[in-house]
Amino acid sequence: MITYTDLEHEIDRGAGPEMVRDFVLTALSEITHGQRRLCAIQHPLGFVCLPVIRDDGDGVCVHAWAAGRPIRSPTTSGMHSHSWDLLSHVLHGRVHNHIIEVTDAVTDSAYRVYEVHSHGDIDEIRATPRLVGAHSRLMQTRGIGESYRLGAGRFHCTEVDHAYSTVTVALGHTIPGATDLSLGAVNGQSHRMRRRRCSPAETVALARWIVRLVVGGEGPTADGGTRDV
């Protein structure tokens, strides 16, 4: 059985994209045949998430964005930081990852920091007293077969090309004591959000769609060209 550690090692050494791709295709096949039981989740940041590994503080999820489908805006903003170290590998499409520089020097374009505490399908979003300034410092673009790392606590914002469906496999290693954060409106209030959990039938249909993308599609590379998947 392939583990979180196996996948992390193969992605990090840059020599195992086929192994990662095969792992994802096997997991999705198990979902479609009822051998791996899980329900996909509609994430507030606009993608669908299939959590294929949960092992204490480690997790592996398949994330997918559908081409041409409007992406719902979160109640705060797309700028956020995780309570876990992220390793993301692109299986289809292209991802633009903006690294956000956050400072305590507040300007006219200030943001309030919100803590995000998740309990099952409920996200409890708590407004904090902290106001910050934020701007995009760097944009990383990754295409098929490419990866990026992002440490816990580092603010970023992820975008995809709407002309192409996008699929990534995301590895997360939880850092004890860290908290998920998001930037939002200064006058925003604490609130709760419920993530929509897909039905088993919807999850199977999603798994089959992702398999078709990864096996038979074409998508853009980081330099704007295309590469057979």
CATH label, 4-217, candidates 3.40.630.30, 3.40.50.720, 3.40.190.10, 2.60.120.10 = 2.60.120.10
* 8 A C-beta contact, residue 191 and residue 74: no
Q: Is the C-alpha dihedral spanning 34, 217, 45, 11 positive or negative? A: positive
d(CA 227, CA 190): 44
pLDDT at 133: 94
pLDDT at 217: 58
Whole-angstrom CA distances from 222 to 13, 138, 160, 216 are: 19, 15, 12, 19
Provide φ and ψ at 106, rounded to 5°.
-80, 130
CA 20: distance to chain centroid? 16
146 CB contacts (<8 Å, ≥6 apart)? 89, 90, 222
pLDDT beneath 70, residues of the chain: 15-16, 70-71, 217-229
Task: Name the pTM for this structure.
Answer: 0.89
pLDDT at 228: 32
